[in-house]
Amino acid sequence: MSAESPNEIHEKKSAAKGLSPAVEEPPHQPIHGAGDRRSYRWVWLILLVAAGYGAYQWFPHFTASQSQENNGGSGKVSASGARTVPVVAVKARRGAMPVYMNGLGTVTALNTVTVHSRVDGELINVAYQEGQYVKVGDLLAEIDSRPFQVQLEQAQGQLARDQAQLGQAQANLERDTAQQKYATTEADRYKRLVEEGIAARDQGEQYRSTADSLNGTITADRAAIDSARAQIVADQAAIDNAKLQLVYCRITTPLAGRIGLRLVDRGNIVHAADANGLAVITQLQPIAVVFNIAEDVLRQVMPKFSGGVKFPVLAYDRDVRRRLADGMLLTIDNQVDPATGTVKFKAVFENQDSVLFPNQFVNARLLFDTRQNVVIIPTAALQRSPQSTFVYVVSSDQTVKMRNIATTLAEGDDAAVDSGLASGELVVVDGLDKLQEGSRVQVTMAGSAADAGAKTGEK
């Protein structure tokens, strides 16, 4: 007996129920068509769109509440619904505004001396310390003076000998002069006797010859005296030179200043022709600053400078943050540098605290003028747009207005307003990034904000 297939069994069951096998589908074989799958996709798409719309409507309320929490309640909402922005403001004031001309400068010593030896010899003493401040006449070094002492004694001995020779020549002159007078007198007497026929002619001629001979001797004596005197002058010069060499053996400082590093040690033989010298002394008090300013300022500065006006000059550090020293303009160069189009200005500083050092780079600021009675506001209040410069002015109703202003001068933290703002008006200096035209503000004055910050820091 053969086994029945599942289809045959199903057909028999259907016949028993009165159903046609072709009408009823076999059980446990469901068929999902393409239309069912498309209907599911549309359902998911509708759900996603609904979720996105809900997030879009809910997100602004969430960010607003978060922003209010992060600001610690700083952004308060007024009764009308407008947000109040806390700001710091300051009153515009009238005052004097300095006008500076700025230039890059280099500190330059007024005097720098390289100390050399003026004689040759052994360096037996170095009397200074490196970096020491010295005064005029302070001993720096000593050179062995014994050779020059010997030269002095030799010159003094030669002088004594020549003085003795001068005395001898003068004595010879006196003797020969006396003999010449006697010979001349006798020659004249015998001449008369010869003319009277009393004395022989040859005897008279002999006295005349003796007198003439003594005249030549006197001339020689005078020449010897002149030679001895000249030799004495030479001997005295040799003595003075030897004494001068002895002075040069003690090397003293020629100016007050700061001495540099030692260039020669004790025991070395130094020469007057040495290139390096013994030490370098630089004058630091006072000291100068040479700085360059554009040539266009000459027509503004020169008339006042030539008229005796003293221009203050301020020296600042490399970052123009720390004021180093105050000085006065000393002079202006006599030509323009064609390569840079600038003129060299030279200012002098007392430099009592030695804050300026030779070859130091500084920023020099020449106080050229002072503008009086101008409206001054902090530079922090200035806002700039492509069209203009403006500030936020606080109105009486505690709202801000954008006000276009004109300003051509700024110095440090202050700016001078040429037009567009009156003295006493409130301008915003902090909290500007949250403002726009008509924003309602809660104002704190700048001084009060600083005091509050200080108290908070103390706590």
- Can you give the pLDDT at residue 145? 94
Q: Is 169 exposed, middle or buried (0-12, 13-18, 19+ CB in 10 A)?
A: buried
pLDDT digits (tens, 9 = 90+) for 36-45: 555 567 777 7
CA separation for the pair 383, 222 (Å, rounded): 102
User: Closest Cα to residue 290, out of 361, 369, 367, 368?
Assistant: 361
Q: What strand order describes the sheet that includes 269-270?
A: 250-252, 139-143, 121-126, 269-270
Contact of 270 with 264, CB cutoff 8 Å: yes
Q: Say what the pLDDT of residue 37 is.
A: 54
411 vs 98: CA distance, rounded Å = 7
> What is the reported pLDDT for 347?
97
Confidence of residue 73 (pLDDT cuts 50, 70, 90): very low
CA distances from 132 to 11, 250, 253, 279 (A): 128, 18, 12, 11
Q: What is the mean pLDDT of residues 354-364?
A: 94
358 touches 285 (CB < 8 A): no
> What digits encode the pLDDT tens for the residues 163-177?
999 898 889 888 888
The pLDDT value recorded for residue 39 is 57
pLDDT at 63: 45
How sure is the predictor about 293, in pLDDT bands with cuts at 50, 70 and 90?
very high
Neighbours of 383 (CB within 10 A): 17
Q: Are 333 and 326 in contact (CB under 8 A)?
A: no
Q: For residue 212, what pLDDT is reported?
A: 75
- 8 Å CB contact between 257 and 133: yes
Which of 435, 458, 453 shows the shortest CA–CA distance to 84?
435
Q: What is the pLDDT of residue 172?
A: 86
Cβ pair 228, 220 in contact under 8 A: no
| Alpha carbon distance 439, 167 (integer Å) | 115
Two structure tokens written together for 166? 């001068």
- Euclidean distance between CA atoms 366 and 140, whole angstroms: 39
Mean pLDDT, rounded, of the chain: 82
Residue 283 to residue 263: CA distance in whole angstroms = 18
In the structure, what pLDDT confidence band is assigned to residue 216 with cuts at 50, 70 and 90?
confident
pLDDT at position 232, please?
93
The residue among 92, 93, 84, 91 whose CA lies nearest residue 431 is 84
- The Cα–Cα gap between 228 and 161 comes to 10
> What percent of the chain shows pLDDT beyond 70?
78
Q: How far apart are CA 328 and CA 311, in angstroms?
A: 6
Q: In angstroms, rounded to a whole number, what is the distance separating the alpha carbons of residues 92 and 109?
A: 44
Provide mean pLDDT across the span 357-381.
92
Q: 88: number of CA atoms within 13 Å, CB side?
A: 14
Going 71 to 77 to 81 to 82, the CA torsion angle's sign is negative
